[in-house]
A = this chain, B = another copy of it.
């Protein structure tokens, strides 16, 4: 969409959006003239606002109230008028500290980041752990008491899947070790589509004695490689209650309900591809029950491993601030991941 508004209209639109974002109250011509000195009188602004309303960028909750932005108004604002706000120094440090702690599992780092994100923005944060294309890296069968084994499957992305599973009584630790060795030799670096029946047959032939154990192992491998499990972490849900739009309990329930629909969230975040910032506003979700929410998403990526950070709030969201913070976080995160994984994925 190309900008189509003249400069004064843009200024007025920006004023309405920004004022409404910070006060949550409809804004009138008088206030704009006073607070955002444009050198014209309220009457002029009234005329302009009437135009903007006719063009669909503003609307009036009721006749005798001021104007508020429509979804289209927000869209124009984020596309043409807004400048992402660079986080301040203190915030940057906080985020860096969070992203840099190598001492922990990656999933934990991401989760922490989500919490900080929520804290800084005062909206709900959603975060997917980094996940790759599902490339096999390693399997380990560990004896675990009589008749049981722990199966560990490690993917190239660093994700680990594990399962406790029964094995036939006769199998020894040594057997498990050899099975692991063969599987690792044959499968390393393959994706689920690469693991064709020829390879499987080959392995079964080589390890014909262990058919039963192999079945179990393949089951978990299969699962690990396909599981677009996209674990989602949520944070800061309570902070969203500060927003006056959620004083309305019905709306709040919708939001909380959504946040528990793992599948929906996955789809939502999955629809963000690549790096960069996406913003989705209200009805753009194409869902009956999501009309008053906006979401800013940002992808981080290193080679084939990627994930998404998202901030969910009311349509009246501090887009500039959120976009700025997200941009900073994902950049830091990508950088750290690059260091952690080296070039080797």
| Chain A interface (Cβ < 8 Å from any Cβ of B) | 104-106, 137-138, 140, 142, 144-148, 150, 152, 154, 158, 160-164, 235-238, 241, 246-247, 249, 252-253, 256-257, 259-260, 340-342, 344-345
Contact = CB atoms under 8 A, between A and B. Distances in A.
A237 B256 CA distance: 7
A245 to B, nearest CB: 12
- Nearest first, the 3 closest Cβ-Cβ pairs linking A and B are A145-B344, A238-B256, A238-B257
B138 A150 contact: yes
Contacts of A238: 253, 256-257, 259-260
Q: How many copies does the complex hold?
A: 2
Contact of A140 (B142, B163, B345): B142
A260 B125 CA distance: 12
B142 A342 contact: no
Given A145-B342, A154-B162, A238-B260, 8 more contacts: A105-B162, A137-B144, A145-B345, A160-B162, A235-B260, A237-B237, A241-B256, A246-B249
Nearest to A164: B158
Contact of A105 (B142, B163, B247, B259): B163
Contacts of A247: 249
A189 to B, nearest CB: 11
A1 to B, nearest CB: 36
Contact of A148 (B144, B260, B344): B344
A340 B164 contact: yes
Most B CB contacts (10 A, CB to CB) among A104, A146, A152 go to A152
Nearest to A145: B344
A247 B137 CA distance: 51
Most buried by B among A147, A238, A252: A238
A236 to B, nearest CB: 7
